Each structure stands twice: as structure tokens, then as C-alpha cells.
Structure 1
Amino acid sequence: MRLELVKDWMTREPITVGPDVTVLDAGRLMVDRTIRRLPVLEQDELVGIVTYGDVRGARAAAVAGTDIWELGNSLARLTIREIMTPNPVTITPDETIGAAARLMLKYMIGGLPVLEARGRLVGIITESDIFRLVVRDWMRSEEDPSEPYAHYEQE
């Protein structure tokens, strides 16, 4: 059985933002592109990651205790730098999917920026990518049911 590698399942050339992009603009980008996380690059260096949950939380925090006139100004000024997770956990493209999954479970995160040896961002691997792999393997096992699952007892 072949070990599955991050480079074979990651999204290449992920959509990124800079740290000075507004939270509103990042949120719109995520909705428009149907993505849940954005690596944050400053001068081509990974400096953070922001999730849709971070954006939603920032909007909710800005709304709390703010009158309607201040709300627009507050949200228009709030930047990704203020809400991103700095120095995110990363992985390299030649690591296994198992290693990626272990990191995601250990740190309770849904995705990992993928960095090549020199530190350049080359992709992102997410829980959805790993789930696609699991589904593919399930579909293959349904096509070839010659081996019972190990946890079932045979009579």
C-alpha cells in the first residue's frame, strides 16, 4: 500500500491575503471563493493564518456594545493582522497525510499551510482534503469486499 503524501492531496497555489487587508474584505473573499481559511503572507513570507470563524468572531465582537454609527467605522478599520493566528503550524509537501492528520488533531485545527524547505508557501492541506482521501478509500473497499473489516468477527 502506497503512503499518501501531502503534496498529492493539498490545494496548490492557495488564495492568500496580506495582514493589512480588512476583515470585511477577507470575509467577502472567503464567501466568494467558498473557502474557510486564508494563509497570511507579508513579503512572500507566511506570517499567519485566518479562518472564517476568526472573521465571524471579529464581526461579532465589533458589534457587541457598539452603536450603529460606530459599527461601520470599526469594521472598516479592523485588519487581518489583528485577528490572525501568527506563526501557524505548518507541514512540508513530502510528509504523509497521516502526519498532517496527527498535527491537525494535536492542535485542534482544520488546515495546515504547506511550506517547501526554503519556507515558501506551496499549498494548503485541510480536513476536507483528508476526508476526500478517506472517501476514495471507502469507495475502493466497497468495490473489492474480499476482506472483511478487522473489527467484525467471522463465524
Structure 2
Amino acid sequence: MLVKRYMQTKVVMVGPDERANAALYMMKKKGIRHLLVTDNSKLRGIVTDRDFRLMRPSPATSLSIYEVHYLLDKLKVKEIMTKKVIAVTPETTIAEASRLLLNRRIGALPVLKDEKVVGIITETDMIRALIDLEEAQ
């Protein structure tokens, strides 16, 4: 079983200079938890729902809600994204991709072919692969 069978090919991507609030809105609107950050079709990073949770200020902050929104609106994706991205190819086995997710404690892997983004594979895709394997027996 290979990644190319289970990866999502309709990948949502943003540029590194995109406003963080706009990226978060895009994620909520599309119901996704991972956004690939690209620049001229080259993978630069990944931003996740966890990154957004970590960037939020403490509830104990003395800032007003308006000040918080103002500051968050100035933040760019490149300031919160993970830059050292672990990626796989379409020919990577599901077992190896699963090991990467598990051992690195991450939720998604960009899929690259010739350094170009061709998809993304997530924990949810791995569960689909497991179900298919179980049903095939």
C-alpha cells in the first residue's frame, strides 16, 4: 500500500506572507487542520491548528479583545509555521508514512514529487488505509 493511493490531492496552500488570521479563517471554512506554506510552488513550511492555538494569548492577558485581534491581524504565516517539514513521496509505503506520523508526533505529511507538492496525507487517511486493509481480509 502506497501513499499515492490514500493522499489528498486537493491541497490547500498559502504563501508565507499571508496574514495568520486569513489562514486560520481558511482552515475553519474548509474544515481542515493543516495548511501547506508554499512560495513559487516550493514547500516552505506547514501551519496547523495547533500552531494557531499556541499563538493565542493567555486568558490572563491585560490586552483588550480589540488589541489582541489587531496584533493577530499583523502576524504572518511565516512567523508561526513549522519550517523543518518532514515530507514523503507518492511511492512511500503507508507503513513508513504511519511510522513518521507516530514517531514524530505529527498529524500530516506533505507529499512531494520532484520537490513539487502533489498532495498531503494525514492521520485520517491512515485510518482509511487501515479500514481498507481490515475489510480486504
Q: Which structure 2 residues correspond to residues 1-155 of structure 1 after superposition, within 5 A?
A: 4-60=1-57, 64-116=61-113, 118-141=114-137
Q: TM-score, normalised by structure 2?
A: 0.91
Percentage of matched positions with identical amino acids: 38
Give the whole-Å Cα distance in 1 for the aligned partners of 2:136 and 2:61: 50
One-letter amino acid of the counterpart of residue 119, structure 2 = G
SS of equivalent to 2:32: coil
Which string of whole-angstrom CA distances, capped at 9 and with x for unpartnered residues, describes residues 87-139 of structure 1? 300001111001101111121101100000x2000000111001011122233
| Structure 2, unaligned runs of 5 or more | none
Give the whole-Å Cα distance in 2 for the aligned partners of 1:12 and 1:40: 15
One-letter amino acid of the counterpart of residue 53, structure 2 = R
Give the whole-Å Cα distance in 2 for the aligned partners of 1:101 and 1:67: 43
Give the whole-Å Cα distance in 2 for the aligned partners of 1:43 and 1:76: 24
RMSD (CA atoms): 1.7
Give the whole-Å Cα distance in 1 for the aligned partners of 2:39 and 2:59: 25
Q: How many residues align?
A: 137
| Structure 1, unaligned runs of 5 or more | 142-155
Give the whole-Å Cα distance in 2 for the aligned partners of 1:57 and 1:31: 16
SS of equivalent to 1:11: coil
Q: Which has the higher contact order (CA 8 A, sep 6+)?
A: 2
Q: TM-score, normalised by structure 1?
A: 0.81
Shift of 1:70: 1.8
Instruction: Kindly name which structure, 1 or 2, has the bigger radius of gyration based on alpha carbons.
Output: 1
**Cα distance, 1:23–1:101 mapped onto 2, change above 3 Å:** same
Which string of whole-angstrom CA distances, capped at 9 and with x for unpartnered residues, describes residues 19-67 of structure 1? 1111211111111111100110012110100001111221345983423
One-letter amino acid of the counterpart of residue 126, structure 1 = T
**Cα distance, 1:68–1:35 mapped onto 2, change above 3 Å:** closer
